[in-house]
Amino acid sequence: MHKARTIGACAGLMPLMSGTPVLNRRWGRILLGAALIAGAFSACETVTTAPPDTRVVGSWRLDKSASDDLDATIAKAMHTAEAKLHHRLARYGYGPDRDATADRDTPPDGPDYSFDTPGDRYGGPGFIGPDFRGLRVRLQQALDPPALLVLEADSDLVTITEDQLPPRDYRLGEDLSRIDEYGTARISATWSHDAFVMKSNYSSPRARRTDTYEVNPATGALTLTQQFDDPTVGRILLHSIYRRG
């Protein structure tokens, strides 16, 4: 554990009281600043073991009626992103022809070309728009909350089991890489008081995700908060409520 040591700062300031040159004031400020920085690092120290009385450990079942609607949450974010892009393209005389897009004979899981624009008369390439259709599917797969959740904690190790999938181990203070439905992520885990927090940074596309597991002492329910920052649709926030069982 890092502890703030202020002895050096006091020693640097003592010569000021005995009539030594003014130059020592500079060293006094430097040492005092170093002591304050050491105290700040001590206050922000990362927790490396599970709290002894953590409430998140146990078996949990999803209460779908009390949770956010996944499809509606993603649809709202997608609609906002599409509207912003449509407005931006319209300023330059481009934009998807929604009637033509609706009549286009393409399979539901096929590529989305609705925001592509043609090249200019000088031979410049056109704009290749985001594949909103494919992105929607990937976000639904990545953010779909499990129906059954089991959390175990042993010192610096946290094990999470989702539905019938194999358990996944997360060691505090260590980074690990994982490939999921959205892409390849680098994950770090820690405790914030009684909440277990996992942060994921994706390499391609460059997105960020934070999963927080926390129990409400008043209700005894576990809340899984998924915050996903996607470069195309922005931030998506999804809350899933679980009951012991």
List, in sequence order, every residue forming a beta bridge with 160; answer none if it has no partner. 151, 168
The whole-angstrom separation of Cα 117 and Cα 128 is: 7
Q: Which residue has the tokens 């899984």?
A: 224
Domain residue extents for the chain: 7-40, 58-67+145-244, 78-136
**% helix, strand, coil for the chain, step of 5:** 30, 30, 40
Is the whole model's pTM more than 0.85, yes or no?
A: no
Q: Which amino acid is at 136?
A: R
Which tens digit of pLDDT belongs to each residue from 167-195? 999 999 899 998 887 889 999 999 998 99
Question: Hey, what are 135's tokens?
Answer: 């992105």
Give the per-residue pLDDT at 47: 61
Question: Hey, what are 124's tokens?
Answer: 């410049």
- CATH C-level class of 58-67+145-244: mainly beta
**pLDDT string in tens for the chain (245-residue length):** 433 322 233 333 333 333 434 344 444 444 444 444 444 433 444 566 888 889 999 999 999 999 999 999 999 998 888 788 767 666 656 555 444 444 445 555 555 545 444 444 444 444 445 677 888 888 999 999 999 999 999 999 999 999 989 999 999 989 999 888 788 999 999 999 899 999 999 987 789 999 999 999 999 999 999 999 998 888 999 999 999 98
Q: Determine phi and psi for 40, rounding to 5 degrees.
A: -65, -40
The helix (H) or strand (E) run that includes residue 25 is helix 23-43
Work out the widest C-alpha separation in the chain, in whole angstroms: 89
The whole-angstrom separation of Cα 177 and Cα 202 is: 9
Question: Hey, what are 108's tokens?
Answer: 């539901």
**Which residues, 6 or more positions from 3, have their beta carbon under 8 angstroms from its beta carbon?**
38, 42
The whole-angstrom separation of Cα 77 and Cα 68 is: 14
List, in sequence order, every residue forming a beta bridge with 230; answer none if it has no partner. 234
**Cβ contacts of 151-160, under 8 Å, gap ≥ 24:** 151/56, 151/57, 151/58, 151/60, 151/196, 151/213, 152/57, 153/50, 153/54, 153/56, 153/57, 153/196, 154/50, 155/49, 155/50, 156/48, 156/49, 156/50, 158/50, 158/189, 158/196
The whole-angstrom separation of Cα 148 and Cα 165 is: 10
